[in-house]
Structure 1
Amino acid sequence: MPAGTGKRATLAMVAEAAGVSLPTASKVLNGRGDVSDATRARVEEALREFGYVPQTGRRLPVPTRVVDLVFDDLRSPYSLEILRGITEAGAEIGVDVVVGKVPAAEPAGPLAPEHSWAQRLKSSGRQGLIVVTSELSLAQVEGFARAGLPLVVIDPLNLPRVEVTSVGATNWSGGLAAAEHLLSLGHRRIAFAGGPLPASCSQARLHGYRAALENAGVPADPELVLHGDFQFESGLEMGTRLLSLPQPPTAVFAANDATALGVLEAARRRGMRVPQDLSVVGFDDTVLAELATPGLTTVRQPLHDMGRVALRTLLRLIAGETLDSHHVELATNLVVRGSTAPIADRGAR
């Protein structure tokens, strides 16, 4: 019986609930290594559920599940919101989350176990790995598979193998909504200040933007599409280039909030007012969007929920469950603030 039913649990009851033999349950209880990760996860879950107490009367601690969470950039509000979602979910379900940065890509070909990222994590007791907005090499992904280390990627910059499990948002729909909003305000010279060209999320936002223009019968101008690296400095550089064109845009859709703030700064340096002279839309809806002056109209990604879903998905993989889909996308929505206005309302400079 589970804890709290008044009947003392036995190890045999735990083994039956986990679908394993009594010797296997004993191996897990005593920390033996010759048990698969999926079996260990089932037995540990049953031990927790039953509140198992050995015959000595002393409740044995169940080994804590530990997963790794790695970022390319830990400074951005985007990363911090993802981190908050994962660590809060971990605290709720009894999983320790170890946070770090993505190491340099490993060379292709056979990897010595002592030099493999996956083997280092495995030998440290990690049961799985979540990687956020990073580019993974095929050698790294294959290393995780060889080590039996489940992997979930959030907003991947690339997917070396289609079966890599990922969590993201509806980037195409978000790009479509951003451009449609600007079109509804009368803008026709709408620029796109994007992220890295190979990044799948940036490509999806670009395609959504282009679809909105096409649906409205507005020709796409190649000189209004630029790519950077999701940083403020890149947004400033792209904004400066766009606003220096002989026919500058009247609106800019930036592929994330940090880039949008760079565009706002480029406009300020040229003496342009937002939204009177230039409308700007971002993507993410981080704290930056609320703190911007004026407040930034942006496409909201449910970053906190994406983190929670990523951790729960990883735990399903660790337990050996079969997923309905390798790719999960959470819905985005447009948040309108003060950085956008109808083109007809632009006053004289």
Structure 2
Amino acid sequence: NVYSDDKKGCYLSTRYLISRGHKKIAFAAYCEDNPLLTDRFNGYRAAMEESGLGCDPDCIFSYSPSYDDGIAAGKAIAGSGHKITAVVTTADICAIGVMEGARLAGLRIPTDLSVIGYDNLSVSTYTTPKLTTISQNVTKKAETAMKLLLEKLRTGHVEQPHVQLDVELIERQSTVSLL
């Protein structure tokens, strides 16, 4: 089992936004019955609570991490009336949808709404603005999984069957500092 530190990923996203002066930060994902997305939500919540901002239920938008639901989330965030200035998502494709939905609802990215994705998909460099995201280094995940598989085939067992890889924030253009 090769996986990323999902909790840390959304923790980093949220702390980054907080460090840039954002206080009303939304979280966009439906994470019930999904341990991976729950870990990401727990990272968001930990950063919000640690900073003293708390985890406001009005800032949680339960949409699946897809492009179409991202559009719906972006529209909902824009129309919420809660003065949200940033959003943390659990997938780049959802973040791209959030940017489109918010734009359709009259917001400018990142001037009115900063957006951070998750995955560092290559498409993130083609959006306008380019998407700030969390990289989970998919290439390294694949290489590590292949190494473990080959070890299992050669020896019949794997010394370390669970490997957690680190994540990093990739800063691009979809966020703005409020400071």
TM-score range, shorter chain: over 0.9
Deviation at 1:195, TM superposition (A): 5.0
Alignment correspondent of 2:11:
176
SS in 1 for 2:77: helix
- Give CA-to-partner distance per residue, 1:166-194, whole Å, 9 cap, x none: 11111111111000000011111101112
TM-score, normalised via structure 2 length? 0.93
Aligned equivalents of 1:288 and 1:327: distance in 2? 29
Alignment-derived partner of residue 57 in structure 2: 222
Cα deviation for residue 196 of structure 1 reads 4.3
Say which structure, 1 or 2, has more relative contact order (CA 8 Å, 6+ apart): 2
For 1:234 and 1:324, how far apart are their aligned partners in 2? Answer: 41
Q: Report what 1:187 is aligned to.
A: 22
Contact kept in structure 1, 2:58 and 2:82, CA below 8 Å:
no
After TM superposition, list the pairs within 5 Å mapping 1:292-311 onto structure 2: 292-311=127-146
Which structure's CA Rg is the greater one?
1
How many residues align? The count is 179
User: Among residues 28, 38, 45, which one is paired with 1:210 in the alignment?
Assistant: 45
One of 263, 269, 275 as aligned partner of 2:98: 263
Check conservation: 2:133, 2:170, Cα contact below 8 A: yes
Alpha-carbon separation, structure 1, partners of 2:31 and 2:149: 27
Distance in structure 2 (CA, Å) of the matches to 1:263 and 1:299: 16
Counterpart position of 2:169: 334
Structure 1: any 5+ residue segments left out of the alignment?
A: 1-165, 345-349
Give the superposition deviation at 1:232. 0.4
Query: 2:66–2:93: 8 Å Cα contact kept in structure 1?
Result: yes
- Partner SS state of residue 182, structure 1: helix
- After superposing on structure 2, the runs of 4+ consecutive aligned residues of structure 1 that deviate more than 4 Å are none
Is it true that 1:199 corresponds to 2:34 in the alignment?
yes
Distance 1:220 1:227 in 2: 14
**Displacement of 1:340 after TM fit?**
0.4
- Aligned-partner Cα distance in 2 for 1:274–1:242: 13
1:169–1:248 CA distance, 2 compared to 1 (3 A): same
Higher mean Cα deviation, 213-222 or 198-207?
198-207
Q: 1:319 to 1:227 in 2, by over 3 A?
A: farther
- 1:310-329 aligned at under 5 Å gives the runs 310-329=145-164
The CA deviation at 1:202 is 1.0
Task: Give 3-state SS (helix, strand or coil) of 2:173's partner.
Answer: coil
Work out which of the residue numbers 70, 82, 92 in structure 2 matches 1:235: 70
| C-alpha distance in 2 between matches for 1:329 and 1:250 | 32
2:84 maps to which residue? Answer: 249
Contact 1:239 1:262 in 2 (8 A): yes
Question: SS of the residue aligned with 1:296?
Answer: coil
Query: Is residue 170–residue 329 contact of structure 1 (8 Å, CA) maintained in 2?
Result: yes
Structure 1, residues 10-58: CA drift from partner, whole Å, max 9, x if none?
xxxxxxxxxxxxxxxxxxxxxxxxxxxxxxxxxxxxxxxxxxxxxxxxx
Identity level (%): 32
**Cα root mean square deviation, aligned:** 1.5
Q: Report the residue type matching 2:78 in the other structure.
A: L
Partner of 1:273: 108
1:334 aligns to what SS in structure 2? strand
Residue identity matched to 1:303: V
Q: How far apart, CA to CA, are the structure 1 residues paired with 2:88 and 2:59?
A: 10
Structure 2, unpaired ranges of 5+: none
**Could you tell me whether the CA contact under 8 Å between 1:285 and 1:301 is conserved in 2?**
yes
Equivalent residue runs for 1:1-349 within 5 Å: 166-344=1-179
Query: What amino acid maps onto 1:209 in structure 2?
Result: Y
Q: 3-state DSSP class of the match of 1:319?
A: helix
CA distance in 2, matches of 1:320, 1:327: 17
Larger mean CA deviation between 313-322 and 298-307 belongs to: 313-322
1:212-266 Cα distance to aligned partner (Å, 9 max, x none): 1111111111121233332101111122222211214110001010000010001
TM-score using structure 1 length: 0.49
